Structure 1
């Protein structure tokens, strides 16, 4: 588990700070999902109806959409592959191990992209931006940190209801 990137911990760059938070949040999500038993992984405990596995897959696709499809402007076959019928979706044959591996691989890709680019660099034009000017890498990373923090809080509630691990 990555330790929390305390504001008093020295960092060599703003990129390192962003990556520290993303690694921490990603590892925390994985730890919480890994601690849940199999029935809880596919069960929704909230009125919105999402499951922990759906959240795990969603976060992998969030990074893919913002880093690969967005910032890099890569052609992505199915950028919304975490959705079906306007909600998050995990197929019955998708496993926790597969989804954790996909999230870790996406995280490694994000790290490689961030370390190879300046935070002020503007993303490539493409469909991710929906006709707007592409954002800088820094703005994309700030959005990803927000997305992870928000969803980790959601997962905290679900884990508590399932008698799983909570808090940091």
Structure 2
């Protein structure tokens, strides 16, 4: 799936829709870049930090889950850090590009639904996600997610270029 860059000249119903458009754009851009990689490249790191493209996909799904479900909605999440093992990102051999893509898109749909059905000034529910701090507003959470996606999409740009995949925005 390819999504056009969310042009500032296209009207939106509000700031929540702007957040959703940008999150969708970055999520789908990242997924399309990762889909260009070979099976070997998906599970291989080209960077000194050691993360793989599949680990990045899983990480982003769990970032959204931690901030939206566990944080803003205050829902108890069984393993909020399921993207980590031994203090680094982890993907099991059974996890595939297809399964991780589906999970990320499903989480993205949930994030969009939450963003569009709540006021951006609404404060998240208190809970363990906030580690004793006051919960953030939905707007701050969405802004945080947007910067996560923008930053990691830049990371995957570098990785896919190093792997010889198509270069571009």
Specify the alignment match of 1:9 in structure 2: 10
Specify the alignment match of 2:150 in structure 1: 149
Comparing 17-26 with 111-120, which one deviates more in the overlay?
111-120
**1:116 deviation in Å?**
1.2
What is the distance in 1 between the residues matched to 2:115 and 2:12? 15
Unaligned ranges ≥5, structure 1:
none
What is the distance in 2 between the residues matched to 1:26 and 1:64? 14
Question: Runs ≥4 in structure 1, deviation > 2 angstroms?
Answer: none
Q: SS state of the match for residue 146, structure 1?
A: helix
Comparing 52-61 with 107-116, which one deviates more in the overlay?
107-116
**1:143 deviation in Å?**
0.3
Matches within 5 A, 1:71-82: 71-82=72-83
CA displacement, residues 91-141 of structure 1 (integer Å, 9 cap, x when unaligned): 011000000000000001101111110000000001111100000000000
What is the distance in 1 between the residues matched to 2:131 and 2:116? 26
Specify the alignment match of 2:38 in structure 1: 37
Matches within 5 A, 1:29-68: 29-68=30-69
Provide the aligned C-alpha RMSD in A: 0.7
CA displacement, residues 37-96 of structure 1 (integer Å, 9 cap, x when unaligned): 100000000000000000000000000000000000001000000000000000011000
**1:154 deviation in Å?**
0.4
What is the distance in 2 between the residues matched to 1:24 and 1:59? 14
Q: How many residues align?
A: 168
What is the distance in 2 between the residues matched to 1:57 and 1:154? 15
TM-score (normalizing by structure 1): 0.98
**1:2 deviation in Å?**
1.2
**1:7 deviation in Å?**
1.6
What is the distance in 2 between the residues matched to 1:112 and 1:26? 15
